[in-house]
Amino acid sequence: VDAVLALLESKPDLERFIRVKKEVNKDAVLNEPEFFADNPVPGIKIVQGKEFFSVEPHNQELM
């Protein structure tokens, strides 16, 4: 798989066949709770002492 991905990445006309998935890095968020206390991000809430992590849509209309 790594060799195929490297080949696809090396040729601009083949890059469209690579799927890129973006997601919130839960570990990074939980490692810096003081940052989010000082800089709140709508939709991210850290509750100390609980093993619960969620990202909630903020001001988004559902179709």
Residue-wise DSSP of 20-53: ------HHHHHH-HHHHHHS--TTB---TT----
| Residues found in the chain | 63
The pair of structure tokens assigned to 29 is 């968020």
Per-residue pLDDT at 61: 62
Kindly report the pTM of this predicted structure: 0.55
The DSSP secondary-structure symbol of 15 reads G
Distance of CA 34 to the CA centre of its chain: 19
Distance CA 60, CA 63 (A): 10
Query: Tell me, what's the pLDDT at 34?
Result: 92
Extract the residue ranges of the chain whose pLDDT is less than 70: 50-54, 58-63
